[in-house]
Structure formats: structure tokens, C-alpha cells
């Protein structure tokens, strides 16, 4: 049986920000509950201009895109099917 490991949202944001800050971008949590309903819980902003580049309701997609999430890991509070990701990584 495959062991799984939980990654907290805080740790996931740190992983992403370590990569995105090199690109001049940063992940932010949207605090306004009404905005979260429409836009999602997280956004990527340009550090210099403050322009919003992307929105998402979960961090998992961005982590997978940057290869920062292992095949045995999942982000807490996100109900995601990781089957496709495991197939892509050959695990």
C-alpha cells in the first residue's frame, strides 16, 4: 500500500514562494470571503507591480506544475484525485 504524507497549506505556500520569488512573483491567500467565492482562495501576484497573474481555489495544481509535490504527498484541506499526477511521474 502506498503511504501518503500531508503537506500543510502553509508549507505548500512556502514551497511555491521559494520558486516564484525567483521569478518576481508571490502566492497570496485571499482574505476577503466574498472574493474567495468568485476568485478562489489563492492568487499569484507580481512583486513589483502588484498585478494579479492567476487565481486558484487550491494550491495542488500550482505545486504539480512546478514539480514541488511528491507522488505520495497531498495538501491538507484539498480533496484532489492524484491518479493522473502519479501516472505522469511514473509512480
pLDDT tens by residue, 40-51: 999 999 999 999
Q: Are 18 and 42 in contact (CB under 8 A)?
A: no
| pLDDT for position 88 | 46
Over 90: is that where the pLDDT of 26 sits? yes
| pLDDT for position 87 | 45
Over 90: is that where the pLDDT of 13 sits? yes
Q: pTM value?
A: 0.75
Over 80: is that where the pLDDT of 86 sits? no
- Number of domains comprising the chain: 1
Structural domain that includes position 57? 5-89
**Complete DSSP assignment for the chain:** ----EEE-HHHHHHHHHHHHGGGTEEEEE---HHHHHHH-SEEEEETTT--EEEEES-SHHHHHHTT-S-TTEEETT-----HHHHHHHT-
Amino acid at each position: 500500500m502506498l503511504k501518503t504524507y500531508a503537506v500543510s497549506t502553509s508549507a505548500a505556500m512556502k514551497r511555491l514562494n521559494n520558486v516564484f520569488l525567483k521569478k518576481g512573483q508571490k502566492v497570496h491567500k485571499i482574505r476577503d470571503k466574498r472574493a474567495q467565492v468568485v476568485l478562489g482562495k489563492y492568487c499569484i501576484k507580481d512583486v513589483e507591480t502588484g498585478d494579479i497573474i492567476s487565481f486558484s481555489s487550491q494550491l495542488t495544481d500550482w505545486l504539480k506544475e512546478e514539480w514541488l509535490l511528491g507522488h505520495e504527498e497531498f495538501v491538507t484541506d484539498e480533496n484532489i484525485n492524484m491518479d493522473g499526477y502519479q501516472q505522469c511521474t511514473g509512480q
